[in-house]
Amino acid sequence: MSVLFRGGYHVFTRQIVNITLQPTAVWHNGNIVTNKNMLLSTLQPHKENKLEMINYDDTAVLLLNNNIIYENKKLFTYKINLSLTDDDFTFNKSRFDSCIRYQLIKLP
């Protein structure tokens, strides 16, 4: 079983969503994909995975642990797909909050 969620630019609220995945045993495999299904990177469950979007010089850049993994001329969204270790695992809000942190940045 897997969990899919989005990060990056949210058009309606004009916010950027930055995500940090804490080290955990809840998931064993993960990847980051663009909205056009291009694989950007894989994620490691045993270490912190910090995804940040930065907008500079009319270019949006996605960083994974301070390394550039994707850039585009426009702000974009990306998908995170996590494969859970237990198929019977219920992914509720408290479990979500224990291993996933997010930061909302309001754009002018």
Q: What is the pLDDT of residues 6-53, one digit of tens each?
A: 899 988 889 999 999 999 888 888 999 998 889 999 999 999 999 999
Could you tell me the residue range of the domain that residue 96 belongs to?
A: 2-106
Q: Where are the beta strands (DSSP E) in 35-99?
A: 39-43, 49-56, 59-64, 67-72, 77-84
Task: Specify the pTM.
Answer: 0.87
Q: Which of 83, 92, 103, 106 is nearest to 28 (CA)?
A: 83
Is residue 65's pLDDT more than 70?
yes
Number of domains in the chain: 1
